[in-house]
A and B are shown apart, each in its own frame.
Chain A
Amino acid sequence: DAGITQSPRHKVTETGTPVTLRCHQTENHRYMYWYRQDPGHGLRLIHYSYGVKDTDKGEVSDGYSVSRSKTEDFLLTLESATSSQTSVYFCAISEGTSGEYNEQFFGPGTRLTVL
């Protein structure tokens, strides 16, 4: 299994509080991604990173920010959590080359509940 960890694995928080989720990889892959998974929607991309300090928005980025100061860490921050952000969050990594090596590996997920 690819070396990807997420922390925390479970979190319950209250509306309006800031929340930071951490993704850590030991594979030295260039690309890192944050997704949220909700029933009936598959996985939707929040933000992704194509290198240290290089990030871009995905399709559901409103209310989220990210940072990547080291290759191995990608942080997702909810500045002021809302109940609509209750979801399961997955981190993924990709080596970033085309063809055979172009696949994603996923972390175990973080279940976030915003009350």
Chain B
Amino acid sequence: AQSVTQLDSHVSVSEGTPVLLRCNYSSSYSPSLFWYVQHPNKGLQLLLKYTSAATLVKGINGFEAEFKKSETSFHLTKPSAHMSDAAEYFCVVSDNFNKFYFGSGTKLNVKP
């Protein structure tokens, strides 16, 4: 069975400091993993995806994530937070049957 655990429901950082949003997954298959972002009252936008090509994945807006099979983790990072990064972030795992499993989300607050 597939599942995703986002370890923090809320993260607060100061502008210009690093961002770390944690995600652990469980999968019976070789997983595809994704991070989506949702700004307030908006839809979901794909930040990045892992599909076995490379363990360090670069996404949009300076975000990246590293797939660590031994730790079953896919944490999202950014070196320097910007005010516009304030949003909710979802970690998602996909199985081999095109079903997608969402974490419960992490709300990122960026303080000036």
Contacts and interface: CB of A to CB of B under 8 A. Distances in A.
Interface of A: 31, 33, 35, 40-45, 48, 50, 58, 90, 92, 94, 96, 98-100, 102-109
A45 B100 contact: yes
Which DSSP category, helix, strand, loop or mixed, fits chain B's interface?
strand
Interface in B8-48: 9, 32, 34, 36, 43-46
B100 A106 contact: no
B43 A90 contact: yes
A105 B52 CA distance: 20
B74 interface: no
Given A90-B43, A108-B43, A40 B104 contact: yes
B98 A94 contact: yes
B94 interface: yes
